[in-house]
């Protein structure tokens, strides 16, 4: 293996992690919501609105933490709207999610143009207004060794939201599968009548789940606008919320498989960026659009051909009506 190929591989792996982060946040958000029985196809809209709020707050208050707080608050507000429609009003959860997606796509551009007059964008963020890369201990000292190079380029050098996303994976698994709250949450997604009979509030558990969903969507949107980019641009989520939903179904609503699925999408995205303009052996230079379509093509392939039998929580998408 040549040194040039090894450097390219390490670079792609580092980029894969960074590109997988918004998918991972959104996928875990959908997992929390759907495990409680609330289908949420509005992840895309929540991420987009959170990105706009984060970019706006970080620009006006000159703080990335203000951006993160604003992004999370806006995403929680949208989650509560979805929860009110799905849990309290027992409405159609698909319609509610679609409405959030349409609302976010239109309102973010409209507000951005009205407030900043930059074509729907928020102002360019300075470095002090963004989450910047963190160098982990020892990354510089051991960079010249083989393992040290991997450590410095793949594990170190990411911003705090990247590490937070991967911490959320074992945390989600522990809460859902090792705590009483998680047991009740999963039970309410499978058999809400049994949970209600035990004297536990079905609506309360589902509202708790959609709030956690909002927090994670807020982190995803903030990452896009304040960490990965230097401000909000229109439609910057680019379908990541829908890809996260595909990853959620492919992982069969489990946190660790969801992480690896998101990393696979991130790897394809990074590989596409790396190969753009590079001639392939026996093929030559391939159009940029072919590489850009790879993650979306994989989404279709996974859902149509490779997923196998994926069974969602039994009460998923079904409004709960208390027995009388």
Query: What number is the average pLDDT over the span 29-36?
Result: 94
Do the beta carbons of residue 261 and residue 27 sit within 8 Å?
yes
Question: Which tens digit of pLDDT belongs to each residue from 98-148?
Answer: 999 999 999 999 999 999 988 889 999 999 999 998 888 877 777 777 777
Question: Which tens digit of pLDDT belongs to each residue from 169-223?
Answer: 999 999 999 999 999 999 999 989 888 888 889 999 999 999 999 999 999 999 9
pLDDT at site 177: 94
Query: What's the rounded Cα separation, in Å, for the pair 316 and 37?
Result: 4
Query: Would you give the distance in Å from CA 197 to the centre of its chain?
Result: 34
DSSP class per residue in 40-94: ---HHHHHHHHHHHHHHHHHHHS-HHHHHHHHHHHHHHHHHHHHIIIIIS---HH
State the pTM of this model.
0.92
Widest Cα–Cα separation across the chain: 71
Query: What number is the average pLDDT over the span 63-86?
Result: 95
**Residue 45: pLDDT band with limits 50, 70, 90:** very high
Question: Which tens digit of pLDDT belongs to each residue from 268-308?
Answer: 888 877 777 776 666 666 676 777 777 777 767 766 655 56
DSSP class per residue in 232-274: --TTTTTTHHHHHHHHHHHTTS-HHHHHHHHHHHHHHHHHHHH
Coil, helix or strand at residue 286 = coil
Q: Using a pLDDT cut of 90, give the percent of the chain over it.
A: 56
Do the beta carbons of residue 151 and residue 139 sit within 8 Å?
yes
pLDDT at site 270: 86
Query: What's the rounded Cα separation, in Å, for the pair 41 and 96?
Result: 8
Query: Would you give the distance in Å from CA 239 to the centre of its chain?
Result: 11
């Amino acid at each position: 293996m040549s040194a040039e190929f090894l450097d390219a591989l390490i670079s792609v792996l580092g980029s894969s992690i960074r590109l997988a982060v918004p998918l991972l946040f959104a996928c875990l958000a959908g997992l929390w919501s759907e495990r409680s029985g609330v289908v949420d196809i509005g992840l895309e809209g929540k991420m987009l609105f959170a990105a706009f709020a984060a970019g706006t707050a970080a620009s006006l208050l000159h703080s990335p933490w203000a951006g993160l707080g604003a992004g999370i608050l806006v995403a929680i507000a949208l989650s509560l709207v979805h929860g009110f429609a799905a849990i309290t009003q027992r409405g159609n959860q698909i319609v509610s999610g679609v409405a959030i997606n349409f609302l976010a796509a239109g309102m973010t551009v409209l507000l951005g143009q009205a407030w900043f007059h930059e074509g729907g964008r928020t102002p360019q963020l300075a470095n002090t207004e963004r989450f910047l890369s963190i160098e982990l201990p020892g990354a510089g000292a051991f960079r010249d060794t083989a393992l040290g190079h991997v450590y410095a380029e793949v594990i170190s050098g990411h911003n705090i939201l990247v590490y937070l996303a991967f911490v959320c994976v074992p945390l989600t698994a522990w809460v859902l599968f090792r705590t009483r709250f998680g047991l009740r949450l999963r039970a309410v997604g499978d058999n809400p009548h049994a949970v209600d009979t035990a004297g536990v509030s079905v609506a309360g558990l589902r509202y708790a789940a959609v709030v956690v969903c909002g927090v994670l969507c807020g982190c995803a949107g903030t990452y896009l606008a304040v960490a990965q980019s230097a401000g909000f641009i229109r439609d910057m989520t680019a379908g990541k919320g829908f890809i996260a939903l595909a990853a959620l179904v492919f992982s069969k609503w489990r946190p660790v498989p969801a992480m690896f699925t998101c990393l696979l999408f991130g790897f394809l995205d990074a590989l596409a960026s790396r190969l753009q303009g590079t001639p392939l052996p026996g093929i030559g230079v391939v159009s940029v659009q072919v590489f850009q379509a790879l993650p979306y093509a994989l989404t279709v392939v996974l859902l149509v051909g490779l997923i196998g039998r994926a069974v969602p929580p039994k009460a998923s998408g079904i409004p709960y009506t208390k027995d009388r």
